[in-house]
């Protein structure tokens, strides 16, 4: 069995890369993503931010392998995404989508366990129980273990889905607005988890709406607007009052947090 050995990947190595990706939907003439490039490195949390319709979801879909780029390349560990068999891909990267509905009355524990499916009949199967429990504890869904996911609240469902993604045990993570349905504490928990996985040399790409979360938790931010990457770099470089105002058409103040010094974005009201 082909078990990827990524334990030795050096922090800073490029894991997932998009280069000059353009996406023109079938039947459309205008691209919804134009010439976008991005590198997600081991040990980094890489936030994708931008207003609605900026192309974040499209870029995310391209990185996840769901949307085929009309032109440009996407690679994982230097290999073209399309050339990696589905099962092997699932052992290298995990994806959390915004929509996490579950058909039928599968319990939270069963759903989290599905995250281990790519490892069936491999030596890593021995870790299934440990990984499932660790993921459920980390996302605070242990009390929901025996409940049907369909009966849970939106926030609980989102956490169960995140537990499933963590249980997959990959060190490339793609998270599409993982905090959207969550309350304040669980939002911070999820971002801390992303941070923690990065400190364990995982490469984390995360779509965020909350610019303050990006400033506080990301190592690198890519700002999209109108289907283009308008800026990419450290959060403080990218998320300036000028760039935010230009992209979101909303005046903001950006000033350092009085205690931590981390920049804060506050809309001018």
Partner 1 sequence: MTLARPVDDEVVVPTPSTHLGSRFAVTTILLALAIVAAAVISLGVGQYALSPAEVVGVLLQAVGIPNDWAPAAPTAAGVILDIRLPRIVEGLLIGAALAASGVLMQAIFGNPLADAAVVGVSSGAALGAAASLTFGLTIFGVWTTPAWAFAGGLVAVFAVYLISRSGGRTEVVTLLLTGIAINAIAGAGLAFLTFLGTTSTREQIVFWQLGSLNGALWQNIALIAPLILVGMIVSFAVARRLDLFALGERTARHLGVRVELLRVVVITTVALLVCAAVAFAGIIGFVGLVIPHLMRMAIGPAHLPLLITSALGGALLLSVADLVARTAVPLADLPIGMITSLVGGPFFLWLLVRTRRLSGGWA
Query: Based on CB atoms, which residue is closest to partner 1, 133 or 236?
Result: 133
Residue 136 C-beta: closest distance to partner 1, Å: 9
Tokens standing for 251? Answer: 């005046």
CA–CA gap between residue 100 and residue 168 (Å, rounded): 16
Query: Based on CB atoms, which residue is closest to partner 1, 191 or 254?
Result: 191
Query: Based on CB atoms, which residue is closest to partner 1, 34 or 159?
Result: 159
Residue 59 C-beta: closest distance to partner 1, Å: 15
CA–CA gap between residue 173 and residue 198 (Å, rounded): 9
Residue 149 C-beta: closest distance to partner 1, Å: 9
Query: Based on CB atoms, which residue is closest to partner 1, 86 or 184?
Result: 86
Query: Based on CB atoms, which residue is closest to partner 1, 64 or 265?
Result: 64
**Which positions touch partner 1 (CB under 8 A)?**
64-66, 86-91, 94-95, 97, 99-107, 109-111, 113-115, 117-118, 120, 133-135, 137-140, 142, 145-146, 150, 164, 166, 168, 189, 192-193, 196-197, 200
Burial class (CB in 10 A: 0-12, 13-18, 19+), 219: middle
Q: Write down the H helix ranges in 28-92.
A: 56-64, 86-92
Residue 44 C-beta: closest distance to partner 1, Å: 18
Can you state the angle between helices 128-138 and 154-167, rounded to 10 degrees?
Answer: 140
CB–CB of 204/133 below 8 Å? no
Residue 61 C-beta: closest distance to partner 1, Å: 9
200: Cβ contacts below 8 Å, ≥ 6 apart: 171
Kindly report the number of other CB atoms within 10 A of residue 233's CB atom.
Answer: 12
**3-class SS at 140?**
coil
Residue 55 C-beta: closest distance to partner 1, Å: 18
Backbone angles phi, psi at 134, to 5 degrees: -60, -45
CA–CA gap between residue 235 and residue 68 (Å, rounded): 29
Cα 12 to Cα 16, 47, 205, distances in angstroms: 11, 16, 14
Kindly report the number of other CB atoms within 10 A of residue 235's CB atom.
Answer: 23
Query: Based on CB atoms, which residue is closest to partner 1, 54 or 95?
Result: 95
Query: Based on CB atoms, which residue is closest to partner 1, 205 or 221?
Result: 205
Matching residue, tokens 């499209």: 58
Residue 223 C-beta: closest distance to partner 1, Å: 25
């Amino acid at each position: 069995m082909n078990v990827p050995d990524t334990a030795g990947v050096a922090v800073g190595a490029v894991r997932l890369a998009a280069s000059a990706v353009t996406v023109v939907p079938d039947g459309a003439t205008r691209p919804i993503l134009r010439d976008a490039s991005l590198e997600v490195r081991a040990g980094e949390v890489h936030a994708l931010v931008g207003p609605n319709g900026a192309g974040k979801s499209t870029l995310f879909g391209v990185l996840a392998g769901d949307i085929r780029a009309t032109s440009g390349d996407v690679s994982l560990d230097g290999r073209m995404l399309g050339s990696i068999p589905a099962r092997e891909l699932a052992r290298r990267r995990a994806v959390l989508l915004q929509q996490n509905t579950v058909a039928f009355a599968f319990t939270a524990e069963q759903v989290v366990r599905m995250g281990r499916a790519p490892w069936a009949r491999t030596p890593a199967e021995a870790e299934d129980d440990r990984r499932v429990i660790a993921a459920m504890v980390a996302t605070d869904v242990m009390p929901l273990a025996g409940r049907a996911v369909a009966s849970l609240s939106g926030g609980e469902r989102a956490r169960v889905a995140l537990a499933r993604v963590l249980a997959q045990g990959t060190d490339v993570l793609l998270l599409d607005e993982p905090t959207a349905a969550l309350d304040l504490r669980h939002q911070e928990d999820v971002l801390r988890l992303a941070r923690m996985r990065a400190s364990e040399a995982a490469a984390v790409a995360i779509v965020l709406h909350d610019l303050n979360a990006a400033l506080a938790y990301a190592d690198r931010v890519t700002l999209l607007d109108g289907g283009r990457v308008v800026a990419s770099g450290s959060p403080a470089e990218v998320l300036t009052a000028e760039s935010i105002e230009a992209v979101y058409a909303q005046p903001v103040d950006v000033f350092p947090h009085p205690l931590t010094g981390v920049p804060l974005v506050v809309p001018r009201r």
